[in-house]
Amino acid sequence: MTAGGYQRLVQSAISDWLRDGKKTGSVSADFGGVHIASSKGGREENQDRAIFLRVQSAIKERPAIACIALCDGMGGMQSGSASADLAISTFASSLVTGRSSRLPERLELAAEAANQAVYQEYKGKGGATLAAVACSNTGEWSAINIGDSRIYTFLAPHGIRQISTDDTLENMLSDLRLSMPGSEFRKLVRFIGMGDGLDAQSISVSQAQEVTWFVLASDGAYGITEPIFKGIVSHSKSALDAAHKINDVSEWIGGSDNSTMAILDPRAKFFSSWQPSKVGSLQIVGVPGCLQLVIHSESQKTALPSPSIEMRRAPRRRNRDKPDHQTKIVDTTREMVSSNVDEKTDPKDIKQPGTKPVHEDYIEPRLDIEIIESGKS
């Protein structure tokens, strides 16, 4: 399978999972250190998307990577929700399949790939922001930001500071020292989906282990005013508590926009449980639940069935037309952990695997995918 075919398959799986899953709620990864909460506010739909991913390649020379990312679909443009799905799924799949050994370069290339994908789909009429922080098992850290979603570092007890720069006309013209810039000055000059001229540049992250939390926030979250936003984050009991409080306040003051918080604790042991293996894996955590992809090395391809994409939904099973690459997809979305659960069971009465659910007795869909990964670097 070509690298492009592999990336498209991963992107499609992530995009479908985001599109079909719930958009509003909160989640904490069961391995700790990751907390995401998103609120629709007063909007008709939630166009914010946030995920955490960690990937271990079946090719031992490639480092394991963990990344938390947020995309805010631009509501004033065409298909904000779909643009956010496409942007974050393309960014994630490109980051996962990237060949560069340098994390900053992989982030930049992934942002450029997301930009081109959204531009090709919407021709500049749809777009999204992007904020992401990533690390590797070699100890490398980096970040990237496009648009006006923000990245903050919180260092207890010293406070919180923004490490990203809003890509707005106001910031571009800051040297003019305008006393009261109008709303037009808050328009974005860079966004995912703009096409040529994005010039994605990573943000240097030093001494990450001294940071208490990395905080990603959409404009609906930090828009409650900066002093209130920083005060809530600084005085919250936990990361998830901070995320919930920010979203609650956003709704209390009118909820004019979607509000999303994605918080990462850099002291968490994201890779400690992973050992070298011939089978790689990609795990994604988000509001919809947990998406798990199992990646087989090229040397194992003879153990897989003849080239086909197989979707299995209990109790029925069907085969799709054969593609030009070797892969097996197993969708366990409808499989229940107990035979006592009947088809009339309310989804809210089922438990969620891989995450700490908002409702203790709820289980969200989990999708397992087997993919042939080329051994060429």
pLDDT in tens, 122-177: 998 899 999 999 999 999 999 999 999 999 999 988 899 999 999 988 777 765 66
Instruction: Please tell me whether residues 201 and 338 are part of one structural domain.
Output: no
pLDDT at 267: 93
Instruction: Please tell me whether residues 259 and 310 are part of one structural domain.
Output: no
Instruction: Please tell me whether residues 219 and 359 are part of one structural domain.
Output: no
Q: Is residue 275 part of a domain?
A: no
- Does residue 117 or residue 207 have the better pLDDT? 117
Contacts with 275 (C-beta within 8 Å, 6 or more apart), sequence order: none
Dihedral (Cα; 350, 330, 88, 104), 10-degree rounding: 120
Is the per-residue pLDDT at 261 higher than 60?
yes
Q: pLDDT tens, 30-59?
A: 889 999 999 999 898 999 999 999 998 877
Tokens of 59: 């090719």
Q: Is residue 163 part of a domain?
A: yes
Query: Measured between alpha carbons, how far is residue 213 from residues 96, 133, 160, 266, 318 in Å?
Result: 23, 11, 9, 7, 45
Q: Is residue 341 part of a domain?
A: yes
CATH code, domain carrying 123: 3.60.40.10
The structural domain count of the chain equals: 2
Instruction: Please tell me whether residues 64 and 175 are part of one structural domain.
Output: yes
- Does residue 230 or residue 256 have the better pLDDT? 230
Is the per-residue pLDDT at 302 higher than 80?
no
Q: Is residue 277 part of a domain?
A: no
Extract the runs of DSSP E, i.e. beta strands, from 223-347: 259-264, 279-286, 289-297, 310-313, 316-319, 327-331
Instruction: Please tell me whether residues 122 and 18 are part of one structural domain.
Output: yes
% of the chain beyond a pLDDT of 70: 71
Tell me which H or E stretch contains 239. Answer: helix 239-252
Coil, helix or strand at residue 289: strand
Is the per-residue pLDDT at 89 higher than 70?
yes
Instruction: Please tell me whether residues 105 and 59 are part of one structural domain.
Output: yes
Q: pLDDT tens, 331-368?
A: 333 222 222 333 343 434 433 334 443 333 333 334 45
Last residue of a domain, one of 230, 264, 298: 264
Whole-angstrom distance, CA of residue 302 vs CA of residue 258:
47
pLDDT at 2: 60
What average pLDDT does the segment 270-290 reach? 83
Instruction: Please tell me whether residues 252 and 326 are part of one structural domain.
Output: no
Extract the runs of DSSP E, i.e. beta strands, from 177-301: 202-204, 213-217, 259-264, 279-286, 289-297
Q: Is residue 185 part of a domain?
A: yes
Is the per-residue pLDDT at 105 higher than 60?
yes
Q: Is residue 106 part of a domain?
A: yes
Q: Is residue 274 part of a domain?
A: no
Please tell me the pTM assigned to this model. 0.79
pLDDT at 117: 97
Mean residue pLDDT of the chain comes to 79
Whole-angstrom distance, CA of residue 12 vs CA of residue 47:
18
Q: In the chain, how many H helices and how many E strands?
A: 7, 18
Whole-angstrom distance, CA of residue 150 vs CA of residue 264:
14
Instruction: Please tell me whether residues 236 and 327 are part of one structural domain.
Output: no
Q: Is residue 280 part of a domain?
A: no
Whole-angstrom distance, CA of residue 285 vs CA of residue 352:
11
pLDDT at 58: 73
Contacts with 312 (C-beta within 8 Å, 6 or more apart), sequence order: 330, 331, 332
Instruction: Please tell me whether residues 216 and 352 are part of one structural domain.
Output: no
Last residue of a domain, one of 264, 298, 322: 264
Last residue of a domain, one of 264, 299, 316: 264
pLDDT at 237: 93
Confidence grade of residue 213 (pLDDT, cut at 50, 70, 90): very high
Instruction: Please tell me whether residues 85 and 164 are part of one structural domain.
Output: yes
pLDDT at 272: 80
Coil, helix or strand at residue 240: helix
Instruction: Please tell me whether residues 133 and 253 are part of one structural domain.
Output: yes
Instruction: Please tell me whether residues 109 and 199 are part of one structural domain.
Output: yes
Domain that holds residue 86: 3-264
What average pLDDT does the segment 177-191 reach? 69
Query: Measured between alpha carbons, how far is residue 25 from residues 158, 288, 289 in Å?
Result: 30, 8, 10
